[in-house]
């Protein structure tokens, strides 16, 4: 049987560039002979690196175009590849931009299409869709940079009404980049300024005390399957970028020590959230759980979650009996299904 020709698209212009490269390295290392994998790195400036230098970038971490040769778009040739595996996190990769390009070029790809990717990336649109479906969420407000610049006093008053503590997030970034916690109005102002350095639209969320963070992996297309529930535990104020990507700072507990009822609630909401945004292939769905009240709140859906072998998404499926190499194979099969 002829090996499946897979283009592994990684890197990208977002601040999650290094996270993307780490995911791609894991896929390369785990791939068997049934796959003919070709990595293609997009550097931080948006240039496509040559095949040779894409491999160099993945092995050495060198992704500056002044040191590496740049290729052109024709390398994305539908006659040279059977399928594309985009492992691009954040804007220009996870937001529907690349998915639209691949669709125009007639190249099937792993993961959500334009709609699911765009909705899943934009936290404000995502929460609007979740709200329309009646999913439980914490209180939040959206703010634009224009409104912050023209009416800062009103913005502070409106968002402070949610009650402190508050979490302030760029609407279109992942990996906890640009997220800060505010305990009072002074910190809220500083946090908004920080978030607007990353995006023109920002979300301010009500903070919950004594929460547990739960996650579920979803796999499939129109009839998705869900994994056991996992839990993230950490000692820092919140699950920020340093905690998330520094070894030993956070523990991934699988399965989470929760009741069968809470497990079923998270799994049901995960499946419904996946279908609500018209997702496909894979997603990780995150929750806040207040054990004292028994309330579960849907936080967000990630359409291209971290994909190293030790990331939560693959580990959740490993706990369900699906190995990392088999998970890669399954995702490629799902991408080739007619939709």
Among residues 306, 311, 313, 324, the one annotated as catalytic is 306
Question: Which entry of 300, 311, 313, 324 is annotated as an active-site residue?
Answer: 300
Sort 152 into a burial class: Cβ within 10 Å, 0-12 / 13-18 / 19+.
middle
DSSP H helical ranges for the chain: 17-30, 51-60, 97-104, 114-121, 123-132, 145-150, 152-160, 185-196, 241-245, 260-276, 312-319, 324-336
* Per-residue pLDDT of the chain in tens (339 residues, 90 and over written 9): 578 999 999 998 887 888 899 999 999 999 877 899 999 998 888 888 888 888 888 887 655 544 545 455 545 666 789 999 999 988 888 999 999 999 998 999 999 999 999 999 999 999 999 999 999 999 999 999 999 999 999 999 999 999 999 999 999 876 567 899 999 999 999 999 999 999 999 999 999 888 999 999 999 999 999 999 999 997 755 544 454 544 556 799 999 999 999 999 999 999 999 999 999 999 999 999 999 999 999 999 999 999 999 999 999 999 999 999 999 999 999 999 987
- Look up residue 314 and give its two tokens: 């693959």
292 in catalytic set:
no
pTM of the prediction? 0.90
Indicate if 286 belongs to the active site.
yes
Please classify residue 326 by burial: count the beta carbons closer than 10 Å to its beta carbon, then call 0-12 exposed, 13-18 middle and 19+ buried: middle
Whether 54 is a known active-site residue: answer no
Domains in the chain, please, with CATH? 4-109 (3.40.50.20), 121-136+209-336 (3.30.470.20), 140-206 (3.30.1490.20)
Does the annotation count 297 as an active-site position? no
Query: Residues with Cβ < 8 Å from 188, sequence gap 6 or more?
Result: 156, 159, 160, 164, 166, 168, 182, 204
Contact 166, 188 (CB under 8 A): yes
A 10 A CB-CB count for 249 gives: 14
Asked if 16 is an active-site residue, the reply is yes
Q: Is residue 245 flagged as an active site residue?
A: yes
């Amino acid at each position: 049987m002829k090996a499946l020709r897979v283009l592994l698209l990684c890197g990208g212009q977002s601040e999650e560039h290094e996270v993307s490269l780490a995911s791609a390295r894991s896929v390369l290392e785990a791939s068997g002979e049934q796959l003919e994998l070709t990595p293609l790195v997009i550097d931080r400036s948006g240039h496509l690196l040559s095949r040779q230098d894409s491999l160099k970038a993945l092995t050495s971490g060198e992704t500056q175009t002044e040191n590496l040769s740049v290729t052109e778009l024709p390398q994305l040739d539908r006659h040279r590849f059977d399928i594309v595996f985009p492992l691009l996190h954040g804007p220009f990769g996870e937001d529907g931009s690349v998915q639209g390009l691949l669709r125009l070029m007639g190249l099937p790809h792993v993961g959500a299409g334009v709609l699911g990717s765009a909705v899943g990336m934009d936290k404000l649109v995502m929460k609007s869709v979740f709200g329309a479906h009646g999913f439980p969420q914490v209180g939040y407000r959206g703010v634009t940079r224009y409104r912050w610049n023209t009416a800062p006093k009103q913005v502070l008053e409106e968002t402070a009404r949610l009650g402190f503590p508050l979490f302030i997030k760029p609407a279109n970034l992942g990996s906890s980049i640009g997220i800060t916690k505010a305990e009072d109005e002074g910190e809220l102002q500083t946090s908004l300024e920080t978030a607007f350095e990353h995006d023109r639209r920002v979300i301010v969320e009500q903070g919950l005390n004594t929460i547990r963070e739960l996650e579920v992996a979803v796999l499939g297309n129109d009839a998705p399957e869900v994994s056991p529930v996992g839990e993230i535990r950490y000692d820092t104020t919140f699950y920020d970028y340093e905690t998330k990507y520094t070894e030993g700072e956070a523990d991934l507990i699988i399965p989470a020590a929760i009741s069968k009822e809470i497990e079923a609630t998270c799994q049901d909401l995960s499946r419904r959230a996946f279908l609500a945004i018209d997702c496909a292939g894979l997603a990780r769905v995150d929750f806040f759980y207040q054990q004292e009240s028994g309330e579960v709140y849907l936080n967000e859906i990630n359409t291209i979650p971290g994909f190293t072998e030790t990331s939560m998404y693959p580990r959740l499926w490993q706990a369900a009996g699906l190995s990392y190499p088999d998970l890669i194979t399954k995702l490629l099969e799902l991408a080739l299904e007619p939709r």
